[in-house]
């Protein structure tokens, strides 16, 4: 192994994945362990915070040990420790943050407090070596926002959701149709067999002068649609899934056109469009966003699917970028507190 390159351990516990990864400064992922709590939350149709916290406590040391084993490294050989400090569920954040701080303190290594959203935002620099600046659509279960990414810690927010996040809309829509949690993959699968034009759903905010999104009207419309077609047969379920996914695609496409125009007005042309977060795993939405990017002479860049959903490699990498900017010295003090809310841009 090349020992002259810096390595960092990343720890993630902000939602329902307990994860640890070790990443090298050249972008080599030496270990990436994700323990999903999905099965424990599935009966409730969403993440139950207390169950999540307890599961993080039960699994955290095991995933870190597995990461060391996969990388064939001891904790002493890792150069620094990064942990997600927010935003997210406070109980889970406390588990990962305390573990990270304890390790950094005992091993006398630099500690980096990482914003989970920055983890998603910078993943394409790890996987695709994308240079700043780029336009970022961050779409996950808890977040939906468009940011002009100019550098590490340097973001301009163009807009965000006024109500539900996109992933949340997928999850809630799936739940009311009786589909399993998480809703995104379940809807995408059924949508492949469905007719996207059968049901006309509201295109909330399409054409708006501002850069924001709204998904609550769409959710209510699907609720009414489902209620008027009960009991749902396979075909109708597939058609609702396809119509819903198509509508989300149109809304995202319109909002990104708005963002591209705003970039052009700032003199920034052909910026790469990066899509990140769990919803970026959706192949149909990727296709629609690729079209928009093409219309503006730009390219769509998305991380591999396994690195779109929550993982610790993205936390390790965001930690690496910040640690590097700090001249490989100490980054954050050990009395750093967890933050349930932590916007990327003011």
Q: How far is the CB of 244 from ligand KG4 (least distance, A)?
A: 10
282 binds, among ligand KG4, Zn ion, none (CB under 5 to 8 A by kind): ligand KG4
- R_g (Cα) of the chain, nearest Å: 20
- Give 15 or 112: the residue with its C-beta nearer to ligand KG4: 15
Contacts with 21 (C-beta within 8 Å, 6 or more apart), sequence order: 9, 10, 12, 29, 31, 32, 33, 67, 311, 312, 313, 315, 316
Q: Tell me if 70 sits within 8 A of 19, measured CB to CB.
A: no
- Give 6 or 339: the residue with its C-beta nearer to Zn ion: 339
Instruction: Establish if 310 lies at the interface with Zn ion (CB under 5 A).
Output: yes
Q: How far is the CB of 153 from Zn ion (least distance, A)?
A: 18
211 binds, among ligand KG4, Zn ion, none (CB under 5 to 8 A by kind): none
- Give 21 or 298: the residue with its C-beta nearer to Zn ion: 21
Q: How far is the CB of 176 from ligand KG4 (least distance, A)?
A: 14
Q: How far is the CB of 278 from Zn ion (least distance, A)?
A: 6
Closest C-alpha among 106, 92, 76, 87 to residue 9: 76
CA torsion sign for 333, 314, 285, 295 is: positive
Q: Tell me if 32 sits within 8 A of 21, measured CB to CB.
A: yes
The sheet with strand 80-86 has its strands ordered as: 29-36, 17-24, 7-12, 80-86, 111-115
183 binds, among Zn ion, ligand KG4, none (CB under 5 to 8 A by kind): ligand KG4
Q: How far is the CB of 172 from Zn ion (least distance, A)?
A: 17
- Give 7 or 14: the residue with its C-beta nearer to Zn ion: 14
- Give 7 or 14: the residue with its C-beta nearer to ligand KG4: 14
How many helices (DSSP H) and strands (DSSP E) are in the chain? 10, 10
Q: Tell me if 253 sits within 8 A of 292, measured CB to CB.
A: yes
Q: How far is the CB of 122 from Zn ion (least distance, A)?
A: 13
Note the residues at the interface with ligand KG4 (CB under 6 A): 15, 140-142, 167, 170-171, 182-185, 188, 277-279, 281-282, 309-310
Q: How far is the CB of 99 from ligand KG4 (least distance, A)?
A: 19
- Give 160 or 183: the residue with its C-beta nearer to ligand KG4: 183
Instruction: Establish if 168 lies at the interface with Zn ion (CB under 5 A).
Output: no
DSSP conformation letters of 58-87: HHHHHHHHHHHHHHT--GGG--EEEEEEES
Closest C-alpha among 9, 206, 190, 13 to residue 92: 13
- Give 92 or 142: the residue with its C-beta nearer to ligand KG4: 142
Instruction: Establish if 140 lies at the interface with Zn ion (CB under 5 A).
Output: yes
* Bridge-based pairing state of the strands 300-301 and 273-276: parallel
279 binds, among Zn ion, ligand KG4, none (CB under 5 to 8 A by kind): ligand KG4
Instruction: Establish if 53 lies at the interface with Zn ion (CB under 5 A).
Output: no
247 binds, among Zn ion, ligand KG4, none (CB under 5 to 8 A by kind): none
Q: Tell me if 174 sits within 8 A of 180, measured CB to CB.
A: yes
CB atoms within 10 A of CB 192: 12
Q: How far is the CB of 89 from ligand KG4 (least distance, A)?
A: 10
- Give 114 or 240: the residue with its C-beta nearer to Zn ion: 114
Q: Tell me if 22 sits within 8 A of 73, measured CB to CB.
A: yes
């Amino acid at each position: 192994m090349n020992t002259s390159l810096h390595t960092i351990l990343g720890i993630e516990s902000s939602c329902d994945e307990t994860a640890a990864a070790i990443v090298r400064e050249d972008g080599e992922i030496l270990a990436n362990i994700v323990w999903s709590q999905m099965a424990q939350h599935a009966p409730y149709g969403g993440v139950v915070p207390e169950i999540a916290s307890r599961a993080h406590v039960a699994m955290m040391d095991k995933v870190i040990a597995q990461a060391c084993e996969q990388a064939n490294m001891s904790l002493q050989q890792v150069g620094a420790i990064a942990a997600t400090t927010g935003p997210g569920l406070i109980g889970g954040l406390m588990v990962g943050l305390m573990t990270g701080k304890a390790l950094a303190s005992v091993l006398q290594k630099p500690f980096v407090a990482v914003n989970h959203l920055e983890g998603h935002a910078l993943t394409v620099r790890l996987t695709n070596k994308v240079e700043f600046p780029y336009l970022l659509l961050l779409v996950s279960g808890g977040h939906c926002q468009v940011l002009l990414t100019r550098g590490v810690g340097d973001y301009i927010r163009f807009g965000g959701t006024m109500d539900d996040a996109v992933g949340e809309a997928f999850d809630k829509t799936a739940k009311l149709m009786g589909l399993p949690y998480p809703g995104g993959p379940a809807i995408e699968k059924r949508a492949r067999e469905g007719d996207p034009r059968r049901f006309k759903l509201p295109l909330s905010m399409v054409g708006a002068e501002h850069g924001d999104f709204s998904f609550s009207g769409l959710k209510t419309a699907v609720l009414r649609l489902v209620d008027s077609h009960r009991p749902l047969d396979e075909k109708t379920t597939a058609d609702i899934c396809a119509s819903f996914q198509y509508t989300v695609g149109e809304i995202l496409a319109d909002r990104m056109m708005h963002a591209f125009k705003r970039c052009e007005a700032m003199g920034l042309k052909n910026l790469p469009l990066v899509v990140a977060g769990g919803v970026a795993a959706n192949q149909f939405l990727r296709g629609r966003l690729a079209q928009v990017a093409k219309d503006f002479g730009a390219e769509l860049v998305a991380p591999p699917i396994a690195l779109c959903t929550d993982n610790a490699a993205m936390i390790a990498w965001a930690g690496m970028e910040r640690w590097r900017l700090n001249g490989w010295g100490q980054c954050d003090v050990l009395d750093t507190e967890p933050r349930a809310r932590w916007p990327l841009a003011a």
